Amino acid sequence: MSEPATPLLEIKDLHTRFHTLDGTVNAVDGVDFDVYQGETLGLVGESGCGKSVTALSILQLLRCPPAEIQGRILFEGNNLLDLDREGIRKIRGNEISMIFQEPMTSLNPVLRIGEQIAEAAKIHKRMTRQEAWRWAVEMLRMVQIPGPGSRSKQYPHKFSGGMRQRAMIAMALSCNPRLILADEPSTALDVTIQAQIMSLMQKLKEEFNSAIVLITHDLGIIAEMVSRVVVMYAGKVVEEAPVKELFKDPRHPYTQGLLGSIPVIGRKEQTGRRLQEIPGIVPSPMETPLGCRFHPRCHKVMNRCQEQEPPMIHLAEHRRVSCLLEA
């Protein structure tokens, strides 16, 4: 792999806490990972393990209730957490942008599609109205919306879910950001559209030479799209591996459980394998278990898992696991 030495984004010991009326929620509790230019990094984990909060922490978009973000988020060497409001606003959309899950509600119903895409270009690239509009049409063409000229003049209600997600992608890419945070960009879409959206993102990523952090539950998408995977559980990173190794040799029992829960159609007879599920649910961030957070659900649980927090064990470059079995 020919990755440049310094990462585009380095997250170091990120903690995000919400101070709610019921107590403090440690939604992200000491996460670190790197993203290199031009790569696609997968971020997986069950619902509620803090993936979205991690992504939103990068852009500091957590406000309600005000989140306390600690740690360092280095983007091209600068700590984003040191920036003021104006500073982070110049990064948003321009250097780092985000696509989220819900295409149906992510577009403003009273603004034309073209206007919404042109908005960021006007702000960050100082384009005039006409230039920005032309650019928006160009972006719509790039995300393969047929008839972009007339479509750009329409309002979101005329767009189907897949087309809206394309429009969202056009919007997110409109300033050619270096990093795109894609939070389950295709979960709300049907399967064929999902595949189209994913291959479109892959294509555009190469065209623009951006990096993507792809957050998803779908391990099929992970297998196809990403080069490296970070597995999160209850606000912590439990394993990181290049995608092939992860599928071949998952080390953490949680990762093994996740991989065991993918259905493989038509192969049951051949493998004799039954669909596995991980028993139990992700613990609430307010009452994380002592010791290893996964131990109440782990099928390989040992006595010391209940007392000792597992250390992060670095097996190779970009290959680490946090489990006492490895220690």
Partner 1 sequence: MTQQHPRLREFKFTLYRIFRNPSAIIGFSLLFIFAGVALFAPQIAPPKYPHNPYLMPHKGFSPTPKPPSQTNIFGTTSGQYDIFYGVVWGTRTAFKIGMFVVGIAAFVGVTLGAVSGYLGGIVDEALMRITDVIWAIPTLVLAMAIIVAFGRGLDKVMIALALVGWRWYVRVIRSEILTLRDQDFVQAAKIMGVSDLKIILRHILPNAIYPVLIMASMDMGSMVITASFLSFVGLGAPKGYADWGQMVALARNYIVGPPGDPLKFWYAIVIPGGCIVLFVLAWNLIGDALRDAFDPKLRRR
Binding-site ranges for Mg ion (CB under 5 A): 52
The verdict on 100 binding partner 1 (CB under 8 A) reads yes
Candidate residues 111, 200, 262, 312; the one interacting with partner 1 per rule CB under 8 A: 111
Part of the chain binding partner 1 (CB under 8 A), chosen from 102-110, 127-135, 255-263, 303-311: 102-110
Candidate residues 107, 132, 215, 292; the one interacting with partner 1 per rule CB under 8 A: 107
The verdict on 135 binding partner 1 (CB under 8 A) reads no
- Contacts with ligand ATP, residue ranges (CB under 6 A): 18, 20, 25, 27, 45, 47-53, 65, 285
Binding mask 136-155 for partner 1 (x = CB under 8 A): --------------x--xxx
**Minimum distance of partner 1 from residue 221's CB (angstroms):** 21
- Considering beta carbons, is residue 281 or 290 the nearer one to Mg ion? 281
Candidate residues 93, 257, 285, 310; the one interacting with partner 1 per rule CB under 8 A: 93
Part of the chain binding partner 1 (CB under 8 A), chosen from 20-28, 32-40, 116-124, 128-136: 116-124
The verdict on 210 binding partner 1 (CB under 8 A) reads no
Burial class (CB in 10 A: 0-12, 13-18, 19+), 5: exposed
Candidate residues 92, 166, 295, 318; the one interacting with partner 1 per rule CB under 8 A: 92
**Minimum distance of ligand ATP from residue 66's CB (angstroms):** 9
The verdict on 41 binding partner 1 (CB under 8 A) reads no
Instruction: Please name which of 291, 264, 259, 265 lies closest in space to residue 278, comparing C-alpha atoms.
Output: 259
- Considering beta carbons, is residue 52 or 165 the nearer one to Mg ion? 52
How big is the chain, counted in residues?
Answer: 327
The verdict on 97 binding partner 1 (CB under 8 A) reads yes
**Minimum distance of ligand ATP from residue 49's CB (angstroms):** 4
Candidate residues 6, 78, 105, 306; the one interacting with partner 1 per rule CB under 8 A: 105
- Dig out the tokens for 235 from the structure: 């606000």
- Considering beta carbons, is residue 231 or 324 the nearer one to ligand ATP? 231
Q: Per residue, what are the HEC states of the chain?
A: CCCCCCCCEEEEEEEEEEEECCEEEEEEEEEEEEECCCCEEEEECCCCCCHHHHHHHHHCCCCCCCEEEEEEEEECCEEHHHCCHHHHHHHECCCEEEECCCCCCCCCCCCCHHHHHHHHHHHHCCCCHHHHHHHHHHHHHHCCCCCHHHHCCCCHHHCCHHHHHHHHHHHHHCCCCCEEEEECCCCCCCHHHHHHHHHHHHHHHHHHCCEEEEECCCHHHHHHHCCEEEEEECCEEEEEEEHHHHHHCCCCHHHHHHHHCCCCCCCHHHHCCCCCCCCCCCCCCCCCCCCCCCHHHCCCCCHHHHCCCCCCEEEECCEEECCCCCC
Residues in touch with partner 1 (CB under 8 A): 59, 61, 63-64, 66, 89-94, 97-98, 100, 102, 105-112, 116, 119-120, 123-124, 150, 153-155, 157, 168, 171-172, 174-175
